[in-house]
């Protein structure tokens, strides 16, 4: 059996970046991904099809108490295929809190700057010009300006979206049909393949065994039990994926923090009905967001988003004629989302029946932040002239973080500051699973930066 220098499990934001950095250094690498490989021409066109074919749990996973839904992609390129490609650097608040909780000294703007810059140097990044804002973005900015709140243009990892030719970016929630979105698939994985990376999709890793100088990785590929071997293994299967693999490998006893510290930035949609069509599903999707120090201090931010029809139908309250009345107004809604910086109190576990579950209840602080955010959204929409406000009670976690948190103390963390699992020098992780707490900021850019830093660290020692 061939032994790879590195076996990388998971092909999302972190897996793609690690695969590229390690392959480019001359290492022999194998990238494993549980989901299928799609491309710009084969992404399923309809919402129901991409949800069922490209997400874990057939579209949605739910916390054990049913109060939170989780979205995580299962396809080559991972969640970078379905995300909105918004790239935000961490601010001092996020780095200071992370450093304080984890004890990791390089969690500061200065030490992380080179890694952010290395990503920016190779990925296309743009802002949507104000002349191309759709009416949902115009409503957002107008409302913020009316009530005196600061907003910002979002930085998006995208190339040529042809918005002036009628492209609707909401389609990209099921994969970008133009290869404009800078997902791992069209950036790091493509570059790494050109340098010799081997990719195996539809390979779901179940567990691994770390014996001496080799790590054996066991799983199933298209139904068949399969084993691969690497000198080192990069765990890049995300918060839920990495935690499940380590739990199934029997590391719980030696790593007491394993599975703990899960957070997800719970997001709540509010729809506001207007007398004229808003057509929030048309044109540039998610061009702006809040950037107000008062909101940052209160632990939430506001996003300028919308949802496709099935997602909206799921979010809308009521049944029968009441639900139909709301859905008929699909073109007449603007919407905003409150994203809460939640406390890392969730627990990821694997049941005796081998099922992955997440226990996550919102704390009193989380609920207080949510209520403040929702109240403000309501005020903003009223100021913009909404005729009716529809608040959605179901929260969703799109930024799944923790479970294998990084830190200096093996009793409280799973991964050490050199990105190795405590007690297992050949197991490496730098993805969303190592987040010591929720930053309250979009995570992808920092996942890329951490992975860039981790690759350098691993190659130099």
Ligand X SMILES: Cc1cc2nc3c(=O)[nH]c(=O)nc-3n(C[C@H](O)[C@H](O)[C@H](O)COP(=O)(O)OP(=O)(O)OC[C@H]3O[C@@H](n4cnc5c(N)ncnc54)[C@H](O)[C@@H]3O)c2cc1C
Residues that bind ligand X (CB under 6 A): 9-15, 32-35, 71-74, 78-80, 82-86, 173, 204-205, 236-238, 241, 245, 398-399, 431-432, 442-444, 447
Both tokens of residue 332? 């007449």
Comparison of 228 and 257: residue with beta carbon closer to ligand X: 228
**Using CB atoms within 10 A of its CB, is residue 379 exposed (0-12), middle (13-18) or buried (19+)?**
middle
Q: Which is nearer to ligand X, 85 or 192 (CB)?
A: 85
Of 386 and 404, which CB lies nearer to ligand X in the complex structure? 404
Q: How far out from the chain centre does Cα 321 lie?
A: 35
Task: In angstroms, give the least distance from the CB of 319 to ligand X.
Answer: 26
Pairing of strands 333-340, 300-303: antiparallel
CB-wise, 10 or 440, nearer to ligand X?
10
- In terms of Cα–Cα distance, which of 76, 86, 79, 78 is closest to 158? 86
- Least distance CB 275 / ligand X (angstroms): 30
Closest distance of CB 430 from ligand X, Å: 9
For ligand X, the closer of residues 225 and 275 by Cβ is: 225
Q: How many residues does the chain have?
A: 461
Cβ-based nearer residue to ligand X, 13 or 347: 13
Q: Which is nearer to ligand X, 173 or 392 (CB)?
A: 173
Rounded to whole angstroms, the Cα distance separating 336 from 381 reads: 9
Long-range CB pairs of 205-213, under 8 A, 24+ apart, other chains included: 205/9, 205/32, 205/34, 205/237, 205/245, 206/245, 206/248, 207/245, 207/248, 207/249, 207/250, 208/233, 208/245, 208/249, 208/427, 209/249, 210/249, 210/424, 210/426, 210/427, 213/426
Give the shortest CB-297-to-ligand X separation in angstroms: 21
Q: Name residue 198's beta-bridge partners.
A: 30
Q: Output the smallest distance, CB 210 to ligand X, in A.
A: 16
Q: Which is nearer to ligand X, 204 or 332 (CB)?
A: 204
We find the least distance from the C-beta atom of residue 324 to ligand X, in angstroms, to be 26
Give the residue with the Cβ less far from ligand X, 245 or 390. 245
Report which residue's Cβ sits closest to ligand X.
12
Strands lying side by side in the sheet with 346-350: 260-262, 346-350, 356-359
Report d(CA 68, CA 79) in Å as an integer. 18
Q: Chain-centre distance of CA 171, in angstroms?
A: 18
Is residue 417 helix, strand or coil? coil
Exposure on the CB side of residue 392, measured as CA atoms within 13 A: 27
Question: Considering the complex, what minimum distance in angstroms separates the CB of residue 207 from ligand X?
Answer: 9
CB of 75 to ligand X, least distance (A): 6
Give burial (CB, 10 Å; 0-12/13-18/19+) of 211.
exposed
Whether residue 126 contacts residue 158, with contact meaning beta carbons closer than 8 Å, is answered with: yes
Do 163 and 283 contact (CB within 8 A), yes or no? Answer: yes
Token code pair at residue 314: 């799921």
> Which structure tokens are listed for 211?
């014996």
- In angstroms, give the least distance from the CB of 112 to ligand X: 15
- In the complex, what is the shortest distance from the CB of residue 242 to ligand X, in angstroms, rounded to a whole number? 8
Closer of 80 and 182 to ligand X (Cβ) = 80
Q: Least distance (Å) from ligand X to the CB of residue 245?
A: 6
Residue 270 or 384 with smaller CB distance to ligand X: 270
Give whichever of 63 and 386 is closer to ligand X, judged by the CB atom: 63
Specify the 3-state DSSP secondary structure of 221.
Answer: strand
CB 431 within 8 A of CB 417: no
CA-wise closest residue to 205 among 241, 259, 253: 241
Q: How far is CA 399 from the centre of its chain?
A: 4
Supply the minimum distance, in Å, between the C-beta of residue 174 and ligand X. 10
Whole-angstrom Cα distance, residue 88 to residue 97?
Answer: 17
């Amino acid at each position: 059996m061939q032994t790879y220098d590195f076996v990388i499990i998971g092909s999302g934001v972190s897996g793609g970046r690690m695969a590229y950095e390690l392959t480019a250094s001359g290492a022999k690498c194998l990238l494993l991904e549980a989901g299928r490989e799609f491309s710009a021409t084969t992404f399923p066109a309809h919402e129901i099809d991409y949800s069922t074919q490209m997400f874990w749990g057939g579209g949605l996973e739910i916390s054990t108490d049913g109060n939170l839904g989780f979205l995580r992609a299962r396809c080559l390129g991972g969640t970078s295929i379905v995300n909105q490609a918004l790239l935000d650097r961490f601010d001092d608040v996020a780095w200071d809190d992370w450093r304080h909780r984890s004890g990791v000294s390089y969690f500061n703007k200065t030490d992380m700057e080179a890694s952010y810059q290395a990503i920016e140097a190779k990925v296309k990044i743009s802002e949507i010009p104000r002349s191309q804002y759709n009416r949902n973005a115009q409503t957002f900015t107008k409302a913020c300006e009316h009530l005196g709140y600061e907003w910002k243009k979002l930085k998006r990892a995208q190339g040529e979206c042809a918005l002036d030719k009628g492209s609707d970016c909401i389609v990209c929630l099921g994969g970008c049909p133009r290869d404009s979105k800078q997902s791992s698939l069209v950036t790091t994985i493509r570059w790494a393949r050109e340098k010799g990376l081997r990719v195996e999709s539809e390979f779901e890793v179940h567990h691994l065994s770390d014996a001496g100088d080799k790590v054996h990785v066991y799983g199933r590929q298209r139904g068949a039990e399969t084993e691969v071997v690497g000198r080192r293994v990069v765990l890049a299967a995300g918060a839920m994926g990495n935690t499940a693999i380590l739990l199934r490998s029997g590391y719980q006893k030696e790593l007491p923090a394993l599975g703990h510290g899960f957070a997800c930035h719970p997001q709540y949609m509010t729809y506001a009905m207007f007398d004229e069509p808003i057509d929030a599903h048309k044109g540039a999707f998610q061009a702006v967001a809040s950037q107000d120090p008062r909101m940052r201090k209160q632990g939430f931010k506001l996003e300028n988003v919308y949802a496709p029809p099935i997602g909206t139908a799921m979010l809308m309250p009521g049944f029968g004629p009441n639900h139909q009345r709301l859905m008929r107004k699909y073109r007449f809604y603007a919407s905003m989302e409150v994203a809460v910086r939640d406390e890392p109190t969730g627990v990821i576990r694997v049941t005796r029946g081998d099922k992955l579950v997440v226990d996550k209840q919102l704390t009193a602080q989380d609920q207080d932040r949510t209520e403040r955010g929702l109240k403000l959204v309501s005020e903003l929409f009223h100021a913009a002239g909404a005729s009716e406000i529809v608040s959605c009670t179901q929260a969703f976690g799109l930024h799944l973080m923790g479970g294998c948190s990084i830190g200096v103390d093996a009793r409280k963390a799973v991964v050490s500051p050199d990105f190795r699992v405590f007690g297992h020098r050949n197991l490496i992780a730098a993805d969303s699973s190592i987040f010591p707490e929720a930053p309250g900021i979009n995570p992808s850019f920092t996942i890329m930066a951490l992975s860039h830093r981790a690759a350098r660290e691993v190659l130099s020692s």
